[in-house]
Amino acid sequence: AVLERLLAGDGVRTLFHRDAALPTTVKLRVIGRQQQLLRIDFETAPSRELLAEKLADFDRLLPDADIVLLSDYGKGGLAHIATMIERARAAGRPVLVDPKGEDWAKYRGATIVTPNRAEFRQVVGRWRDDGELAAKAQALRDELGLGALLVTRSEEGMSLFTAAGADHIPALAREVFDVSGAGDTVIATLGVLIGAGAPMGTAMRVANQAAGVVVGKLGTATVTPDELR
């Protein structure tokens, strides 16, 4: 109820389903000297019935959406992600995915997948240099039929891999206080810009600027248009 009220206050439309048997996930962050040291999660996976209801919500909302963002936290809420991507692409909607775990077959056909360095390494293994990174990225992109792969690389910036080749840009953060939510900022910014018709390269550069702003703030933070300007 508290979350619903806060989101309504910010003009965010929600479609929550309640399950009396399911405790709300708690994320415990340990902070030391104004920097996050680690996070401990207490969680329970959602029921099959709840997931079926969410898929029905998705089908109902899809016709009115310009773009679909699927942020996979590995908490069980996106058990139907392969079906969601399939239906969104059939409806002509771009699909952006923030991935989790080693099984990426479920992201097949997505427009853009946005792993961070560690998430990408978990899937393709280590690389010696940018050339090997590009080879691994393009092989995975081809295998899964992805429009693009955007690898966020912390202090090494970002690398975008498409059929046209690779595009690398440096990191912009002046000082890093807390990386919480940096990946969310990237995919949210990409979503807004691509949904508005911006080219992928432009969207990536603005997303990089947005990430540079939020990692300079403590906690999960937002970025405003004025900060980007």
Cα–Cα dist 45/68, whole Å: 23
Query: If you search the block for the tokens 């009220």, which residue do you land on?
Result: 5
Distance, CA of 223 to CA of 208 (rounded, Å): 12
Planar angle of CA 215, 140, 84, nearest 5 degrees: 75
Q: What phi and psi values does residue 202 have, to the nearest 5 degrees?
A: -65, -45
In this structure, what DSSP letter does residue 200 have?
A: H
The continuous run of DSSP H or E covering 118 comes out as helix 117-124
205, 206, 225, 227: which is closest to 216 by C-alpha? 227
Tokens of 95: 């699909």
Which are the catalytic amino acids?
Answer: 184
